[in-house]
Structure 1
Amino acid sequence: MSSGGPSRRVRADAERSTARILEAAEDVLAEDPNAPLERIADAAGVARATVHRRFSSRTALLDALAAHLNERYLRALAETRVATAPPLVALQRLTETIFDLKLCHRFAIQLDAAITPEVLAGVDLLFERLRDAGVITSADPVWCRRVYLALLHEVNDLSADSPTLTALHAGSEVEARINLLVGTVIGALGGTDTTNGLLVRPSLAGD
């Protein structure tokens, strides 16, 4: 019988408690960015000493939240296939994923450390491909990315009953936000909105 069994169980328990702490931190800090670690421990259902053992300081906890979100960003870039899928399709998929992340990570999404150079490079690559495909004319991918992220923030902040969203007559609020962002970004970067007010959902098999 392997002597590593109990050790593996201890590690698994530690990973589960860490995940609960991070999940609780997202919820608590989204409501109160200045909430103490003790309140996060209560929300996670763990002893306060456990939080301090897993995260030596508030900064360590914030770094962990940023790292977790960065992993999600990188996974999104891989899943949307920004390097190989038709670039407009990849832009729509990436936009949908980011809106989902904004809902699930309302606090961590504000942490600059969550957007690493690797993530930025993936977004820049997408805008290079959009330019090469003739979807946009702007030649600077860094500028394109900055425009995209700024407009993403503005579209995300629109109320659900905003005339700007409801006028799109999309199938859902999320689709309306995607259509609005994609169409506006393409227009701002010297292209033509090819969505025609409708979210394009091509099958993965057709890429």
Structure 2
Amino acid sequence: MTGTKRLRADAERNTARILEAAETVLADEPGAPLERIADAAGLTRATVHRRFATRGALLEALGARLEDRYRQAFEDAEALTDEPRAALGRLAERVFELKVGHRFAIGLPGTPGEEVIGRLDELLDRLRGAGAVTATDRAWCRAVCLALLEQVHGLPATSPELGAPAPGGPEEVRARAALFTRTLLGALGPREP
């Protein structure tokens, strides 16, 4: 039994190494072959193929890993138990941290998934209940939110909209989160008479 447990532990460690390497390699070279990922993980190509029979299986695992991180971002931000405006700001910071640290996985199809979208809808509902959001079409509010995340993420660090933060650091993440939050609440919030 001990040998089986050790094999399982080795397999789990190898899978984690492969996923870490894939995130790094594919962020710089999206079309990189599995052999390059195996080299970066310090494993043989056969080991990578045992864990992920196809490139599609590897991409699916990366998407699931990112989905877990989005779920954790909601928990970290206390998005469903805190004052909704503050929760939105903290959630935005966590999402921009993820976007910077997981450049390749961000573009994977299916991310964010249904559970994360459901939690986003709940947060938008809470913002609506607090009067910070007055737009009533849930799907439209979600679409605006997700599109705005991509637009703010795509801004160069030198954009005047970000106020010239130090590129790549926590100041940039906070500046992006503040711009996103301010713009979203301005777009979906109370209308002036």
User: Would the TM-score normalized by the shorter structure come out above 0.5?
Assistant: yes
How far, CA to CA, are the matches of 2:113 and 2:77 in structure 1? 18
Check conservation: 2:77, 2:91, Cα contact below 8 A. yes
The TM-score normalised by the length of structure 2 is 0.91
How far, CA to CA, are the matches of 1:98 and 1:167 in structure 2? 20
Q: CA RMSD in A?
A: 1.7
1:174 aligns with 2:173: yes
Q: How far apart are 1:123 and its partner, in Å? A: 0.2
Q: Which residue of 1 aligns with 2:50?
A: 53
1:121 aligns with 2:121: no
Q: Which residue of 1 aligns with 2:101?
A: 104
2:179 corresponds to which letter in structure 1?
L
Q: Which residue of 1 aligns with 2:3?
A: 6
Q: How far apart are 1:71 and its partner, in Å? A: 0.9
Q: How far apart are 1:60 and its partner, in Å? A: 0.4
How far, CA to CA, are the matches of 2:31 and 2:163 in structure 1? 35
Q: How far apart are 1:20 and its partner, in Å? A: 0.8
2:31 corresponds to which letter in structure 1?
N
How far, CA to CA, are the matches of 1:55 and 1:110 in structure 2? 20
The TM-score normalised by the length of structure 1 is 0.85
SS at match of 1:107: helix
Q: Which residue of 1 aligns with 2:40?
A: 43
Ranges in structure 2 where 5+ consecutive residues have no aligned partner: none
Q: Which residue of 2 aligns with 1:84?
A: 81
Q: Which residue of 2 aligns with 1:186?
A: 185
Question: What does the per-residue CA deviation read over 1:165-192, in whole Å, with 9 as the maximum and x for residues that have no partner?
Answer: 1179xx9222211111100000011348
Q: Which residue of 1 aligns with 2:137?
A: 140
Q: Which residue of 2 aligns with 1:95?
A: 92
How far, CA to CA, are the matches of 1:11 and 1:160 in structure 2? 43
Q: How far apart are 1:158 and its partner, in Å? A: 1.3
How far, CA to CA, are the matches of 1:107 and 1:27 in structure 2? 8
Q: Percent identity of the aligned residues?
A: 55
1:139 corresponds to which letter in structure 2?
T
Q: Which residue of 2 aligns with 1:151?
A: 148
Higher helix content, 1 or 2: 2
How far, CA to CA, are the matches of 1:173 and 1:108 in structure 2? 20
SS at match of 1:172: helix
